[in-house]
Each structure stands twice: as C-alpha cells, then as structure tokens.
Structure 1
Amino acid sequence: MSKPRVVAVGGPTATGKTALSVALAKEFGGEIINADSMQVYKNLNVGTAKPTAEERQGIPHHLLDFLTPETPYSVADFTAAAAPLITQLNAQNRLPLVVGGTGLYISSLLKGVAFETQNTAPVLREQLRQEAEANGPAAMYAKLRELDPDYAAKVHPNNQVRVLRALEAIAVTGKKMSDQQQDALPAEAPYRALCLCLTCRDRNVLYRRIDLRVSRMVDAGILQEAEWVWRNRDIFRTAAQAIGYKEYFPYFEGTQTQAECTEKLKQATRNYAKRQLTWFRNQNDAVWLYVDEDDVLAKATALVRDFLGK
C-alpha cells in the first residue's frame, strides 16, 4: 500500500508561508494543517501572525484558532491531531499541506515520532515551576544540560516550557529526553513527503521583512492583545512566553516605553528567525526556496507537480 502524501511548507517567520501554501492549496486541491504552536489559540491573532479569513481565501485550515489560551499544547498533541487529518485528506483525494514555523512540529510529524503517553506528575511540575521562579531560567537550563546535554543543545535556554517539560520527563521516566526521542523514531517514515522551506538569501532582507511585520502588528493592535495576555499571564502560561507578547510586559509594568518594547520585539523576532533557520537547515530533505531571488510560487508549483506525479 502506498504511503499517504503530504507537502510541508516551513521556514522562518515573515517569509510568506501562508500566501504560498494557500496558492498551492488552490492549485492542487489541498487543505492546510497549521503547524504553528501559537496560532492554535483563540483571540491571539495579531501577535501570532495568524492568517486572516481574507488571507485564507476560503481554503480549509485545520488545527488553527481552536484552543483557549490557558490550554496547554505540545508537539505530542499536534502529531496526534495531525496524523489522522493527513490520512483523512488523502482518502478524500485532497492534498494535506502542513504549514508553519514550528520546526519541531513538522519534523516530528514527517518522521513519525511516537510520543509515549506519560503519567503526568502535577506535584513535580509545580515544584519545577517554583524552582524556575526562584532560581531563574539559566539555572534550570544548566540542570538540563547536566542531565541531558544532547537534548539541551537543541533547546533555547529561554524556552522554559521545553526545559521544564524535559526535566519532568526525566524525573518521571528515568530516561533522558534525547534517548526517548531516538527510541520513538520508526524504522521508516510514515509519509511520502515533500518539505519546502522559505527564506531569504540575503539575511538583511529577512530582517527588513521582520521589522515591517512588527510595525504592521503595532498598527493592527498588538498592544491590546499583549495587555490581555499580561493581565492573564498566570493562566496563559504558554502565551505569556510567546514572542510578541512578553516583550511588552515591561511597558505595562511601567519600566520601559512602548517604542523600546517594540524594538525589543523586532530583535527577539530576528533571533527567533535565526533559530528557525538552524532547525530547518538540519532537516536534510528540505528543498530551499529564496523569496528574494526566486519566483517562489512558480518553483514551488513545479516541485509539487513533480512530487505528485511520481
């Protein structure tokens, strides 16, 4: 039996993934599965750069805008929800397009990583959270680096959600997260996949695109969203860590100006784009398209047509 087919569109923020994926969906009879970890949340639209109804152009989008901001969401949740969608769309002769900038989600799905259903440890999780509040992110990251250096190398030191989750998993299972991930890989990938990654050949062009996007977010009302997240930061745990919101917390606390926070957001987004590039470049089977050089739509259309014809 042939494997289900899937096309992924990844790459750093502000490279035009939404516009390309919608165009490909229209051309090839596809539907989009969101692979952005923050665009799953309702009412967090501006700061997450969630595609508007106008930008979606009537193309069905799955796993988008469906959770309340206090609901935890992980790569295991994503793969568990996305896998049956791919099967269903293939059965309907529709092309699944997995689209987003969260590289871990895309690579885990395409590789068929099997996430164990772990017994959660609420008391331990709360202890780790309190330890992080008392000692700071650097201390928790140092702890992870000592226990599991291979996994720590893949995680940004400020990504407290993943750092604490890894420490919890080690404590609950007695196994390093890097070993758990290796054990979870199947002998063979479950899909016949084409992975397209967008970027700019000139890094300065990418940074200018990011700065323009942030300016547009300010015009579109990101401050109001950020204030809502700030006021609910104790229950919106994931959203409160998201780039686009936490950068404005000093403004609401009266310690920085709005302009200073906006500049900080531009820098944080540029740094995030670098991490996204690093992640996607480690996926050896990705095909890179350069939005500042290529006719991206023409090249992507040809690649998808060739992929579907095989």
Structure 2
Amino acid sequence: MAEWDKPCLAVLGGPTASGKTGLSVALARTFGGEIVNADSMQIYQGLDVGTAKVTAAEAQGVPHHLVGFLAPEKAFSVADYVEAAGRCIGEIAGRGRLPFVVGGTGLYIESLLEGVRFAPQKTDPALRAALALRADREGPEALYAELRRIDPAYAAAVHPHNKGRVLRALELYYTSGVTMTQQREASRPAQRPYNALVLCLDWPRGQLYERIDRRVDQMLERGLLAEAELVWKNRESYKTAAQAIGYKELFPYFEGAAPLEACAAKLKQASRNYAKRQLTWFRRMEGVVWLDGSAPGVQQAAEQAIRGRFAL
C-alpha cells in the first residue's frame, strides 16, 4: 500500500511538562481533529492530578479518547493500547476528521505506528511467582539489572520500578529464550499501517526542568496529596498506579518515614529523570520532526509541518 493510501495520523510526543496538551488542543481545533491519548497513566479513572489529565477547560470542546476510561484495579497492556487506539483512529478518520495521537509513552506510540502484532505469550505462573518473590526479597532494582543484561534495549524504555513490565520481559525470556526486543522485531509487519507525521516537543534542558518543578508544585496545590493517599491506601489493588511517578514518591510521607518537602523534592527529581528517558526514546525513533517548545512560533511550525505532510 502506498504511503498516501494509508490513513493520515498526526502524533505529538515529548517529555512530561513540555506543553503537549495545550499545543495538541490548538492543533486539533485548527485542523478539525480529535485526540487519542497516548499516556499510560491517563487511561485510569480518578487519577487526574498526578497524571496531568486534560481538564474540560483545557480540552476546549476537542474530543479526547482513551482518557479516564479504566478502573485503577485493571491491567492494560501495550497490546490493549494498540487495539483500542487503532479502533479510535479508524472511527475518527471515518468521520472525516484528523486523528491526533498525543502523549509521552513512547512504547505505546511506537508500537501503534509500527502496527506491532502481539502474539499470545507463553506464561509460567510458577516462574512469575518466583520472580515476584525475588523482586520482593531483593528489590526491584535487582531484577531490573538482570533485564538490562538480557535485553538492554527494552530495559532502557522501562522504569526500574515498573515491576509488571520487568517481570513480563524476564518471564518471556526464561520461558522462550526470546527477548522482548526480539519479539517486537518479529511482530512488526512489512508495512506500517498509517501515513503518520510524528512531531516531538523539546526544550532547553534548564527550562524543561524548571517547568517540571513548577508543575509538581502546582499539582500539590491542586490536590495531589489526597490523590496519592488514595493510591497508597489501595496500593495492593492499584498496582500500576502504585508504581507510577507522581504517587509512589509520596508514600514515605503517608508512612511517616519522610517529611512532605523531601518527598516533593524526590518527586521532582524522578520526574526530571523520566523526562530524560522519554527524550531518549523519542530521539531513537525514525522520522521525528523536532519542535522547540520554547519558541514563540512553535504552533505555527507545527501547523506548517501538518499542512505540508497532509496537503491540508
């Protein structure tokens, strides 16, 4: 299939606090588009402040999909995302509107763009239980270090404390001898499913870190503490949220082990480190058009790139 016969898709990625929400809404309003979320935490219900979920005022009437639709107790895989986002994109295009995929979860975005087909994985409950026990005894860093030795490419995209993904990758390797990276390579179709333009926001590092620190302060003012306490109290059932940046850094405060100021500082540092990992992921993707988020004309540059790509 020729590139121009494929469905058109605009993607806006970038690190946390880079301005994706505001720019994506402006672009969707300009081009009559709808937005499909590509943030792995914004899919959950009730976790609004800590995930910087778009508000009704920020959305300005632009339809947003895959936002706040899943209970925090539920698991949601990359395969689930590719299926759900693909369905949304088809429906948006069917209405004659331009789909915008927006978020900072590079694994979701890349898997969607490449049309990765996820084959059923072999499972070994006994092995998974043994790995989980090791994680509890030795700490998540030990298993993450093991994953880095086995599959450094995949490990680079996974947070060391994301126990679910680390365990799945190790389980896959020990049951099949295949790494997650190798499985993903084998699952890519010969042709990508979309005529996609991928825009990514970047900022001078110092300015980005200032934005991240300011956002954390604003989240605390807007009720992050109460939201994080909810996650802490339900940490056994809210397994994904309990591992997420924005919540787990505040757990020591609820446990009486650290003052709030120290936890907030740790959250800022964790968010800055996450931004670096996001940028690393997007920089290794092919064909990305980088935009300077600090430039006054960033919206005009994005509009020009979209018009040029899709002849709008």
Question: Structure 1 length normalisation: TM-score?
Answer: 0.95
Aligned to 1:17: 20
Counterpart in 1 of 2:246? 244
Q: Tell me, yes or no, if structure 1 residue 307 matches structure 2 residue 309.
A: yes
CA distance in 2, matches of 1:91, 1:221: 39
Partner of 2:73: 70
User: Is residue 229–residue 254 contact of structure 2 (8 Å, CA) maintained in 1?
Assistant: yes
3-state SS, counterpart of residue 200 of structure 2: strand
Deviations 1:32-52 (A, max 9, x none): 100000000000000000011
Q: Which amino acid is 2:307 matched to?
A: R
| Matched residue, 2:222 | 220
2:54 counterpart of 1:51: yes
Cα distance in 2 for partners of 1:155, 1:105 equals: 12
Distance 1:150 1:52, change over 3 A: closer
How far off is 1:10 after superposition? 0.2
Q: Deviations over 1:58-83 (max 9, x none)?
A: 11111110011111112111001111
- Unaligned regions of 5+ residues in structure 1, if any? none
CA distance in 1, matches of 2:23, 2:123: 39
Farther off after superposition, 9-18 or 144-153? 144-153
Cα distance per residue 1:261-306 (max 9 Å; x no partner): 1111111101100111111111121111111124111111111111
C-alpha distance in structure 1 between counterparts of 2:285 and 2:296, whole Å: 21
1:205-284 pair list within 5 angstroms? 205-284=207-286
User: 1:132 offset after TM fit, Å?
Assistant: 0.6
- CA change 1:123–1:60 in 2 (3 A) is farther
The corresponding residue for 1:129 is: 132
> Could you tell me how far 1:91 is from its partner in structure 2?
2.0
Letter in structure 2 aligned against 1:287: V
CA distance in structure 2 between the aligned counterparts of 1:261 and 1:221, rounded to whole angstroms: 15
Amino acid across the alignment from 2:276: K
Matched position secondary structure for 1:6 = strand
Q: What is the rounded CA distance, in whole Å, between the counterparts of 1:249 and 1:77 in structure 2? A: 29
More deviation, 219-228/162-171: 162-171
| Deviation at residue 115 of structure 1 after TM alignment | 1.2
Change (3 A) 1:54 1:122: farther
Taking the aligned partners of 2:124 and 2:88, their CA distance within structure 1 comes to 30
The residue that corresponds to 1:103 in the other structure is: 106
**2-structure distance, mates of 1:293, 1:95:** 25
CA contact (8 A) 2:36 2:99 kept: yes
Cα drift, residue 127 of structure 1: 2.8
Structure 2: stretches of 5+ with no match in the other structure: none
Q: Secondary structure at the match of 1:285?
A: coil
Deviations 1:89-147, CA, capped at 9 Å, x for gaps: 22221111000010111111111111112254444333322221011122212332344
Greater shift, 220-229 or 152-161, is seen at 152-161
Tell me the distance in 1 between the aligned counterparts of 2:81 and 2:105. Answer: 11
> Structure 2 vs 1, CA of residues 305 and 37 (structure 1 numbering), >3 Å: closer, same or farther?
same
RMSD: 1.6
Superposed CA deviations along residues 185-216 of structure 1, whole A, max 9, x for unmatched, are 1111111000010110x210000111111010
2:259 maps to amino acid: T
Within the candidate set 180, 184, 200, 2:183 is matched to: 180
Q: Give per-residue Cα distances to partners, 1:196-250, cap 9 Å, x unaligned.
A: 10110x2100001111110100000100011110111111110000000000001
Q: Take 2:274 and 2:156, find their aligned partners in 1: how far apart are those partners?
A: 16
Partner of residue 142, structure 1:
145
**Distance 1:298-1:150 versus aligned 2 partners, 3 A rule:** closer
**1:40 counterpart SS class:** coil
Report percent identity of matched pairs.
Answer: 56
**Which TM-score applies when normalising by structure 2?**
0.94
